[in-house]
Copies of this chain bind each other. A is one copy, B any other.
């Protein structure tokens, strides 16, 4: 998606060969106009997939996901990152490891917000090692529902997240695909 790629080129910072800093328009400061355009693009791409609900993982996926859900006229569910297990039968939970923060989360979904007939579109800001997206996939599968697609703002193709999602049989659509962050340079896939 040209608007996002252009923004990454002008405002993204390759901190080291693994970390792309986008805190001036996605993670800390947020560009609402760009988020709106991203929502339009995901809605366009997934329009024939019979999606029934949009899911995202807190926190940075919320802004693009809420616009996607608005354009698709669907509800959004924000999966929670709990630091400990909730001891009740009313939630689905799955452990995910955050490489960025070096901690485990219990990704949490109330059972009342999914049902086996749902076909879920998962939206997230980054796809790197795929832990957050796979966690969301696990929760959908626990409920006996389907994943209708996965929409990612920025994919780091040199990490293995894409392969893990492909292996599970799901379609992933990334708006910007980054091949390398070496030597402070942001190199995109063609």
Contacts and interface: CB of A to CB of B under 8 A. Distances in A.
Interface residues of A, number: 29
Interface stretch (A30-38, A44-52, A141-149, A171-179): A30-38
A62 B63 CA distance: 7
Nearest to A108: B28
Given A32-B75, A62-B63, 14 more contacts: A28-B78, A28-B113, A29-B75, A29-B78, A30-B66, A30-B69, A30-B76, A31-B75, A32-B66, A32-B67, A58-B58, A58-B59, A62-B62, A63-B66
Interface of A: 23-24, 27-33, 35-36, 58-59, 62-63, 66-67, 69-70, 73-78, 80, 110, 112-113
